[in-house]
Amino acid sequence: MFKTSDLRVRDVINVNDGRRLGQMTDIEVDLEGGRITAIIVPGQARGFALFSRPDSDYVIPWEKIVRVGVDVILVDIPTSPSETRSRRP
């Protein structure tokens, strides 16, 4: 068992292309079942990061997590980012 705060310090890596997506910033939880349903990783900022809005966040379903390691979280998501991104308010 692990704490969600422990997950925040791990890099999220896509096993399909080896790309570092960033670090988890939030989770989605099924309150009725008491389970994590997805992790949220913020999108990359375009251009000069100080003044630009980031792309939409990665919403990675828990089923797409391959392994939670000591330093990284390995995920298996499509290399097309539009399939796992969504705009969050």
Q: Span 8-36, mean pLDDT?
A: 91
How far is the C-alpha of 2 from the C-alpha of 69, rounded, in Å?
11
How do residues 13-24 score in pLDDT, each as one tens digit?
999 999 999 999
Distances (CA, A) of 10 to 18, 32, 61, 72, 83: 15, 27, 17, 5, 23
Residue 18 φ/ψ region, left for φ over 0, alpha for ψ in the -120 to 50 degree band, beta for the rest:
left
Residue listed under structure tokens 């390995």: 74
The fold of the 4-86 domain, in CATH, is SH3 type barrels. (2.30.30)
Other Cβ atoms within 10 Å of 43 Cβ, number: 18
pTM higher than 0.75: no
More confident residue, 89 or 31: 31
